[in-house]
Amino acid sequence: MWLTGDLGVTTRLDPWGHHAIEDYEKLIVEFGITSIDKLLAQYTVDHSYFTRRVIFGHRDLDSWLNAFSRGDKTAVLTGFMPSGYPHLGTAMVYEELKYFQKKGAFIKVAIADAEAYAVRRESRSDVIQRGFDFVVHAIAWGVDPERAEFYYQTEMPSSYYRLIQMFSRKITQAEMEAIYGDLAPAKVISALTQAADILHLQLDEFGGYKYVVVPVGVDQDPHIRLARDIADRFKSELGFERPASLYHRLIRGLDGNKMSKSRPEYAIHLNEPKELLEKKVMNALTGGRATAEEQRRLGGEPWKCTIFELYTYHLVKDDKQLEEIRQECITGRILCGACKKRALVLLMELLREHQDNLRDITERRVVEKVLKKPSF
């Protein structure tokens, strides 16, 4: 979310907010995020999220890629806050994890149960169960549990918690305020905990991975900036290096605002029943015109359309086919009703496959093999 301070000069991203981001270029300029464009000219990163600029920015991804291709120790770390239920925005991170796994990278995933408890004020039993669901869905989406580690924040050993305490010494109130605005203790602790998630892999005890990249929605950039600052300050004491990051655009909800676990009526959940899917898609905000006549004459505006976003982020893997859909839209050859129906068919197919996979994954097996639940 954009917050403009009293003086009209400070802009902030709120990692806990519920607003859609309007202007990604502005983020690049204001926060010094590096645009992905230059990197794409130099490296082959062959996922459509890159080529379509769904992943639009990064910090130091080039160093990470260099280390990776040199065969240095590299890792990918991300996390999920288990409030609400996994949705198509969550699945974007699953996609990225799958991509890195296919390349052969080591993957580690935090279940931010401490954060969900403290900031979203969910009950412990809910965050434990929801956290588990995020893992089960990741596996159903195609993340290979044999080549990934998942953990609950609250199950980590003392060496991870020691980091949080050490970090607190070198961060000032003014810095926290500049980054987050809000200094509620729950948020301060959650931010430092996330820094421990991002940085702990660099300790020998956790493998000594000096090159870590964090793929996330860009609303998480404040946490990345904090973790990078902390890394600098612990360079001599702990030998930390700055983590790299990778930012995707946030998928919007079907009303055009941020797709958020806290506004379930506008999100598409990965366990969504068919009937609800149809209702949600048919009611979605599009880039269509006021009348059919006008749309045939002027064409639609796919850049405003939540349905076109679904095509881009999840439903159409082939770039040529996506371009055809865009052409049909802007030339007015298709109207939104028909276009939505086509999207609905693809979406049902995608989720049916996912839900079939889900049924094959037994909770007992996941608990035994992948992740134990905290006891309270």
CB of 259 to ligand SF4, least distance (A): 16
Give me the residues paired with residue 111 across strands: 80, 152
329 touches which of ligand TRP, ligand SF4, none (CB within 5 to 8 A by kind)?
Answer: ligand SF4
CA distances from 102 to 143, 148, 163, 325 (A): 9, 12, 31, 29
Output 215 or 287, the one with its CB closest to ligand SF4: 287
C-beta separation of 223 from 77 below 8 A: no
Considering only the C-alpha atoms of the chain, give the largest distance between any 2 of them, rounded to a whole number of Å.
Answer: 68
Q: Which residue has the tokens 């990741």?
A: 138
CB neighbour list of residue 228: distance below 8 Å, 6 or more residues apart: 59, 242, 243
- 220 binds ligand TRP, rule: CB under 6 A: yes
- 80 binds ligand TRP, rule: CB under 6 A: yes
CB of 85 to ligand TRP, least distance (A): 13
Output 214 or 267, the one with its CB closest to ligand TRP: 214
CB of 160 to ligand TRP, least distance (A): 12
- 197 binds ligand TRP, rule: CB under 6 A: yes
- 194 binds ligand TRP, rule: CB under 6 A: yes
CB of 323 to ligand SF4, least distance (A): 12
339 touches which of ligand TRP, ligand SF4, none (CB within 5 to 8 A by kind)?
Answer: ligand SF4
Q: Which residues bind ligand SF4 (CB under 6 A)?
A: 286-288, 300, 302, 305, 307-308, 329, 334, 336, 339-340
C-beta separation of 322 from 312 below 8 A: yes
* Binding interface with ligand TRP (CB under 6 A): 15, 77-81, 110, 112, 115, 194, 197-198, 214, 216, 220
